[in-house]
Structures are given as structure tokens and as C-alpha cells.
Amino acid sequence: MGDDDVELEARLAEQDVFEPSEAFVEQANVADDAIYEEFEENWPECWQAAADLLSWDDDYDTVLDDSNPPFYEWFTGGELNASANCLDRHLDERGDEAAIEWVGEPVEEDDRTYTYAELHREVNEFAAALRDLGVGEDDVVTMYMPMIPELPIAMLACARIGAPHSVVFAGFSADALATRMNAADSEYLITCDGYYRRGDPLDHLQKANEGLAGVDHEVEATVVVDRLGPNGDGFGHDLKGTQHDYGDLVAANQGAEVDPVARDAEDMLFLMYTSGTTGQPKGVKHTTGGYLSWAAWTSQAVLDIEPDDTYFCSADIGWITGHSYIVYGPLALGTTTVMYEGTPDHPDKDRLWQIVDEYEATQLYTAPTAIRAFMKWGSEYPERHDLSSLRLLGTVGEPINPRAWKWYYKHIGNEQCPIVDTWWQTETGGMMVTTLPGVKDMKPGSAGPPLPGVDARIVDTEGEEVGAGRAGYLTVQKPWPGMLRTLYRNDERYIEEYWAEYSDTDSDDPDEWVYFPEDGAKIDDDGYITVLGRVDDVINVSGHRLGTMEIESAIVGVEGVAEAAVVGGDHEVKGEAVYAYVITEEGHAGDDDLRERIVAGVENAIGPIARPEQVIFTPELPKTRSGKIMRRLLEDIANGEELGDTSTLRNPEIVEEIRVQVQD
Ligand code: WT7
């Protein structure tokens, strides 16, 4: 530990409440505490404030239609287009201002700025091209792309013609791509030849092509962006048949204008697949009016975004954070959004600070896993740069421990920037629990109170509210505009996954319906919520959600494996890491060869993010007398913790055997 850290420790360690600076409060978008009461009294009409941030082609009649819970509808009767809201309406005032600052991997020095006028132009041209390819309203277009500008361009082009997008994280495997295209019956794919990772070109089209081979219906067209130029020629890809070059398509449509299609507020804007308890990913459906107003309102109220800002979120657009807080929220507000390709430690561990410095970023929104890595690398990296442009910091994705919070506060924010620790999910569309930075004090480790108008409560297994300090389950007891509307083509699973636990599912009374996000949490006397983590079989690796079942089925698919159980174990940087307990088949040794094949099997089925940290071979798994695997015990073993009562096990002796192996 450096002297610096010692000093920080001493001064900040004891402090558990932090006030936002006066300078911040004075300019904050929301600075009046009265908003909490106002929204409560005026619910659901209070959400007109969110809808008012958008431009509507046709006014809505009703704020909330809750006649058929949990199939809530927001801003019904209204019509709007998301692309027009993110582009066209800014042209007069901000046409020459930067919409996207793209920071490419520093291979070719090819950072790009898109002004609103330029972005509008390219979105129009690509929208025209998509139409020519046959994409119609409501056709789901899949995007399998890394952090290149053509990704948000493609998203906005789809939004313009009313075609919902389904973005698949580029780090996911070919199999994962095929599963998602199949689940959505998606007949169009937009991808690229490759991209750079730590300076080296990576063949992405090969993975995309493998994925396409696993699609069980006809694919009408694939569009390929040439990201690598001559550096990609070595991969030897030829586009044939229904594959088209993005650059050619845009050039052929030069100057084209496409009228934004007026979409019903409740029409689908996009699908996003996320991991759940079962092996099959869930297709979360988000709408045009509710989602976009939620993304815009939270961007303004929580991230304090104003048009003149240069806002930087370091997430990947392949996840919901990037959808809501790189693309839709910031662009709806007409600000400059920074997107970067690559990783925070290449070419050096000051990559993010170099970007903040160069672009004079005013906000930084990142994840606790990144902050823990920065902390480990040391404060000399941020100290190389001028970070004084920053006004606000944010985190998302997993709980942040107070030590990491304080490091972020001091070394990045210079004790001047409020930190918003934002709890939300793919399903919520945007932020739900966090401090309003100009209004509330901050408590490191606790996300904060629910946002105004959000009715989040902590309950016990019976659904009764628990008192301050006691652990319980986080619930949301009233609908909100940004909420998912259903799981795509699976209303039944939507009810089962999110509502069945605490609702009277036979009732038409919305008060009887309670949303359950499957997180544990506790609340303090001031109403601040501390999120404790998932209570289902989902683990959170570096802020990314992975279903243990998905990983288990990948492992069981490897030759020589009989059974597998996957749990999350604590990890210093990643938060949680994958621990796989594996039983081999008769005649197969639990050796390094099998271990390697298991790791490869998981990478092929899901992607490198799901790679097991440890593969532990065991003759048996600890099971209850009824045959259920005792995951808790496996977690305790992974974490080297004291083991609780094992007497209910059918095979208690196995526990010690496994433990010895993990410790080796
Ligand atoms: C799960 C949602 C929200 C976008 C990124 C992840 C966990 C998220 C926090 C936070 C504690 C958090 C929860 C949640 N989570 N933010 N600030 N504090 N936990 O989206 O992949 O849908 O995952 O991430 O467990 O349920 P996601």
C-alpha cells in the first residue's frame, strides 16, 4: 500500500456518510428534495415528467393502463419514433455538435467524431439500405458487433424503420448467437469482419458464420462492417450470396432520407437476451415510449446529463447499460456520448484516464469490477492525467464495497464528484434505486433510496416488509414506465419468473402484483437500500450475469463428464468467479486434458466471460436426502468459509474431500 492509500484509509475509513459538494448541488438537474413527495402523491401521473422529455408524433391518452396486470401499458395511444428523438429533433440546435465521440483501439489512430448531423445522415442511409434488403416494421434484426460506431448507427437505423433490434454481446460465442437468433426468429444479422483486442486483430466474422450455420430458419441477409481494413484481409473472408458490405450499402444510399416510422408507445423498440435460472436465455422486451422516457429521465435526473456535457460510460453496448446509458438516454438528451473500443489496460492501465483527460469528460459511469482493478493497479495511473473535468461518477452492475467506493471518490473524483451507485437490471430498462446526486447524501456500499415514484420494498419470504437492518428480498410494488413488458413470445414465463413469487396471480387488482428481481437486500433507518446479491442461480462475474444452469449444461456436454454443479465464489476483481464441480464418467480421468476441454466447452457454448476459474473433480456432489445439490455448501467451499451444518446431507463425508482439493 502506498503512503497515499494509508492516508486515505485513515481519513475516509471512518466516514460513512458523504454530502454532495455545494458546487454540484448548485447546478444539479434535480436539487429539490420535494420531488420524492410530489411523485408519490401524484403517481402515476408524475411520469409525465419522463414522457415530456421526448417529442411525440401523437400525444398519449393515458399515462398508465393497469387493467391487465402484470401486462402494464404506459403512455397508451401515444406515437413516437426513437431515432427521431435521438437525432432529428436535435438537428436545428445541435447539428454541428458531437453526438458520438468514438475512441478506437489505438492501432490506426482512427478516432471518429460524429456530429448529430453526420450521425443523422448515416443512420438515414443505413435505414434506407435495410429497407432495400427487405427489413420491414417489426422484423427483429440481430446485431453481433463490438464497440464500433456502426453498432449504435444500426440500432438507430432499425428504430427509424420500426424494426426491433436484438444486440448480442460480441464476446458471446457462435452458439449463443444462434440460440438468440433462433429464439427471436431473426432473419437479419449485422456484424463485422473483426475488431482489435489489445492491439491484435480478431476474426469475428468466422464466429458469426459459425453462428449462422446454427440458425434453424432462413436468414434473409447479413451485413458486414469492414472494421479492420487491410488488417482483416488475412482472415480471407469473401462475402457471398446474402452477405453485404456495410460500406457499399451506405454508399449506394448516399443522401437518402427515410421518414421515421411513427411507432405506438407500446411497440417493441428492442429485445435483449439475458441469463436466467434455466438454460434458455430470456428475451426481455422493451418498448418505444416507456423505455425511452425512462432512459432519458434517469439520464437527466441521476447522471445529471445536460446537452453541453461530454458523458462517458465505459460499458459495452452489448449489455443493457450500453443501450440505456451510451445510446438511448444520452442521445435522447442531445448530449455528447463517448464510446471506446478495447480494454482499460491497453495500451496502458491509464486508458480510461487518458480518455477522460483528452475529451474532458464530465461524467464517468463504470462498474465496481473495473474500479477494483484500477485500485489494484494503483493511483499513479489516474494521477498521470487531468481529471478535473469530471463532475459526477457512477457505478452499476454489482454491489460496490466501501473501500472501492472511497478509492473512486478520492482518486478519480478528487472528493468533489458525487457517486451514484445505481441498482437496476436488464428487465427494469434503467435505474431504480440510487441517490439523486444533487439531493441525497451518499453512503458507500448502499445504493440509496428508491428513485422518486419507484416503490421498492424489502420483504420476507411471506411478502411482509422487514424492518431496518434485516436481510430480505428486494421487490418493486408498483409498475414503472421502463419496465420490461414480457419475455418475448413467452407471457407465461414472464409471470413465473418475475411475478409469481409475491403476487396473487389470479387477481386483476394491480395492488396484488409485486415484481421480484431476485436480489437479496436490506434497508436502513433512512430508507437506503443495500443490495446483497442474487438469490437465484445466477452469478455475477465482472458485472455480467451468467446462469449457472447454462454453464452446467455446457460442461455436461463435454465428453467424459457425468455431472456438474456451478457456483459463484468470491473474486477480488471480478466480484464473483465461476467454480465448477465436476463428476467424470466411468473410465475418464479428472486430468488436465479434461479440464482444458471443459474450459473450451464453456467458451464455445457461452463465451470467455463464463470461463471457470477452477474446475474441481469430485466423485460425488453434496446432496440432500431428497437429492438436491447443496449449492450453499459448494459456495462456502469455494470461498474457504466455515461450513455450516452438513448433517442433512446424504453424503456428508464428501464435503471434506472436496474442500481439500479446492485448497490445493
Ligand atoms: C443484476 C442485474 C444494470 C445493468 C448491468 C447489469 C446486480 C446491478 C447493482 C448495484 C448491487 C447490482 C443485481 C441485478 N446489480 N446493479 N448497483 N448494486 N447489485 O444488468 O445483467 O441485468 O444484472 O446486477 O444483482 O439483479 P443485469
| Angle CA 67–72–73, to nearest 5 | 100
In this prediction, residues 179-187 reach a mean pLDDT of 97
pLDDT, residue 85, reads 99
In this prediction, residues 122-127 reach a mean pLDDT of 98
The CA-based diameter of the chain, rounded to the nearest angstrom, is: 73
Residues whose CB falls within 8 Å of the CB of residue 455, separated by 6 or more in sequence, listed in order: 476, 477, 478
Cell of 17: 456518510
Mutation test of ligand 1: which of 172, 273, 425, 516 has the most ligand atoms closer than 8 Å to its C-beta? 425
Q: How many Å apart are CA 652 and CA 657, to the nearest integer?
A: 10
User: 257: which DSSP letter?
Assistant: -
pLDDT, residue 646, reads 81
| Band (2; pLDDT cuts 50, 70, 90) | low
Handedness of CA 362, 363, 366, 370 (dihedral sign): positive
Q: State pLDDT tens for residues 516-531.
A: 999 999 999 999 999 9
Residue 610 has pLDDT above 80, yes or no: yes
Asked whether the bond before 70 is cis by omega within 30 degrees of 0, the reply is yes
Which amino acid does the sequence have at 163? A
Q: State pLDDT tens for residues 342-373.
A: 999 999 999 999 999 999 999 999 999 999 99
In this prediction, residues 221-235 reach a mean pLDDT of 94
Report the candidate in 223, 253, 256 with the shortest Cα–Cα distance to residue 154.
223
Residue 335 has pLDDT above 60, yes or no: yes
In angstroms, the first-to-last Cα distance of the chain is 28
Question: What is the 434 CA–ligand 1 centroid distance (Å)?
Answer: 12
Backbone angles phi, psi at 82, to 5 degrees: -70, -40
Q: Percent of the chain scored above 90 by pLDDT?
A: 87
Handedness of CA 483, 485, 488, 493 (dihedral sign): positive
Weakest-pLDDT range from 97-111, 114-128, 411-425, 518-532? 97-111
Backbone angles phi, psi at 627, to 5 degrees: 95, 5
Cell of 125: 442511409
pLDDT, residue 649, reads 84
Cell of 584: 467424470
Question: Mean pLDDT in the chain?
Answer: 95
Cβ atoms within 10 Å, residue 644 = 11
pLDDT, residue 537, reads 87
Cell of 474: 428486494
Q: How many Å apart are CA 390 and CA 24, to the nearest integer?
A: 11
In this prediction, residues 252-258 reach a mean pLDDT of 98
* Residue 345, H or E segment: none
In this prediction the pTM is 0.94
CA distances from residue 615 to 545, 599, 612, 620, 630 in whole angstroms, order as listed: 20, 8, 6, 14, 17
| Angle CA 467–471–477, to nearest 5 | 70
Q: Percent of the chain scored above 70 by pLDDT?
A: 98
| Band (540; pLDDT cuts 50, 70, 90) | very high
In this prediction, residues 74-97 reach a mean pLDDT of 98
Residue 381 has pLDDT above 90, yes or no: yes
Mutation test of ligand 1: which of 167, 423, 446, 451 has the most ligand atoms closer than 8 Å to its C-beta? 423
Q: State pLDDT tens for residues 138-147.
A: 999 999 999 9
Q: Are 276 and 546 in contact (CB under 8 A)?
A: no
Between residues 640 and 210, the one the model is more confident about: 210
| CB crowding 436-472: b at 16 or more within 10 Å, else e | bbbbbebbbbbbbbbbbbbebbbbeeebeebeeeeeb
Question: What is the 517 CA–ligand 1 centroid distance (Å)?
Answer: 10
| Band (630; pLDDT cuts 50, 70, 90) | confident
Question: What is the 435 CA–ligand 1 centroid distance (Å)?
Answer: 16
Which residue's CA lies nearest to atom 23 of ligand 1? 425
Question: Which residues does residue 406 pair with via DSSP β-bridges, in sequence order?
Answer: none
Region for 160 from its dihedrals, namely left if φ exceeds 0, alpha if ψ lies in -120 to 50, beta otherwise = alpha
Pick 538-663's CATH classification: 3.30.750.24, 3.10.180.10, 3.40.50.2000, 3.30.300.30. Answer: 3.30.300.30
Q: How many Å apart are CA 318 and CA 429, to the nearest integer?
A: 14
pLDDT, residue 69, reads 98
**Which atom of ligand 1 lies nearest, measured to the CA of 533?**
25
| Band (490; pLDDT cuts 50, 70, 90) | very high
Q: State pLDDT tens for residues 3-45.
A: 666 766 788 888 999 999 999 999 999 999 999 999 999 999 9
Show me where the domains of the chain are located: 62-68+74-419, 538-663
Quick one: 334 exposed, middle or buried, by C-beta within 10 A (0-12, 13-18, 19+)?
buried
Question: What is the 636 CA–ligand 1 centroid distance (Å)?
Answer: 22
Question: What is the 398 CA–ligand 1 centroid distance (Å)?
Answer: 5
Handedness of CA 5, 11, 12, 18 (dihedral sign): negative
**Which atom of ligand 1 lies nearest, measured to the CA of 543?**
6
Q: State pLDDT tens for residues 507-517.
A: 999 999 999 99
Region for 360 from its dihedrals, namely left if φ exceeds 0, alpha if ψ lies in -120 to 50, beta otherwise = left
pLDDT, residue 11, reads 81
Question: What is the 191 CA–ligand 1 centroid distance (Å)?
Answer: 27
Handedness of CA 241, 245, 249, 251 (dihedral sign): negative
pLDDT, residue 3, reads 63
Alpha-carbon dihedral angle through residues 130, 132, 133, 138, given to the nearest 10 degrees: 60
**Which atom of ligand 1 lies nearest, measured to the CA of 544?**
21
Weakest-pLDDT range from 271-285, 442-456, 563-577, 639-653? 639-653
Which amino acid does the sequence have at 361? A
Between residues 213 and 629, the one the model is more confident about: 213
pLDDT, residue 664, reads 65
Residue 479 has pLDDT above 80, yes or no: yes
Strand-pair category, 310-313 with 336-340: parallel
**Which atom of ligand 1 lies nearest, measured to the CA of 434?**
17
Q: How many Å apart are CA 276 and CA 384, to the nearest integer?
A: 42
In this prediction, residues 198-211 reach a mean pLDDT of 95
Mutation test of ligand 1: which of 271, 424, 538 has the most ligand atoms closer than 8 Å to its C-beta? 424
Question: What is the 187 CA–ligand 1 centroid distance (Å)?
Answer: 31
pLDDT, residue 8, reads 65
pLDDT, residue 4, reads 62
Backbone angles phi, psi at 530, to 5 degrees: -105, 120
Asked whether the bond before 260 is cis by omega within 30 degrees of 0, the reply is no
Quick one: 111 exposed, middle or buried, by C-beta within 10 A (0-12, 13-18, 19+)?
middle
Instruction: Give the pocket of ligand 1 (CB within 6 Å).
Output: 274, 319-321, 396-399, 421-426, 447, 517, 519, 531, 533-534, 540, 543, 545
CA 193 to chain centre: 24
**Which atom of ligand 1 lies nearest, measured to the CA of 275?**
21
Cβ atoms within 10 Å, residue 251 = 11
In this prediction, residues 413-440 reach a mean pLDDT of 98
Question: What is the 458 CA–ligand 1 centroid distance (Å)?
Answer: 16
| Band (631; pLDDT cuts 50, 70, 90) | confident
Rg (Cα) of the chain, in Å, rounded?
A: 24
* Residue 565, H or E segment: strand 561-571
Cell of 497: 419468473
Residue 656 has pLDDT above 90, yes or no: no
Region for 430 from its dihedrals, namely left if φ exceeds 0, alpha if ψ lies in -120 to 50, beta otherwise = beta
Q: Are 342 and 105 in contact (CB under 8 A)?
A: yes
Q: Are 535 and 522 in contact (CB under 8 A)?
A: no
In this prediction, residues 636-657 reach a mean pLDDT of 85
Residue with cell 444510399: 253
Q: How many Å apart are CA 313 and CA 425, to the nearest integer?
A: 16
Question: What is the 325 CA–ligand 1 centroid distance (Å)?
Answer: 14
Cell of 129: 439500405
Between residues 656 and 482, the one the model is more confident about: 482
Question: What is the 558 CA–ligand 1 centroid distance (Å)?
Answer: 31
What is the DSSP track for 265-283?
Answer: TTSEEEEEEE--SSSSPEE
Report the candidate in 60, 64, 62 with the shortest Cα–Cα distance to residue 44.
64
pLDDT, residue 5, reads 63
Q: Could you give the angle at which helices 174-184 and 592-605 cross, rounded to 10 degrees?
A: 30
pLDDT, residue 652, reads 85
Helix, strand, coil content of the chain in percent (nearest 5): 35, 25, 45
* Residue 578, H or E segment: strand 575-584
Q: In terms of CATH, what superfamily is 62-68+74-419?
A: ANL, N-terminal domain (3.40.50.12780)
Residues whose CB falls within 8 Å of the CB of residue 599, separated by 6 or more in sequence, listed in order: 611, 612, 615
Residues whose CB falls within 8 Å of the CB of residue 373, separated by 6 or more in sequence, listed in order: 344, 345, 573
What is the DSSP track for 43-65?
Answer: TTGGGHHHHTTS--SB--SEEEE
Q: Could you give the angle at which helices 548-556 and 592-605 cross, rounded to 10 degrees?
A: 130
Residue 453 has pLDDT above 90, yes or no: yes
Residue with cell 473524483: 413
Weakest-pLDDT range from 1-5, 414-418, 554-558? 1-5
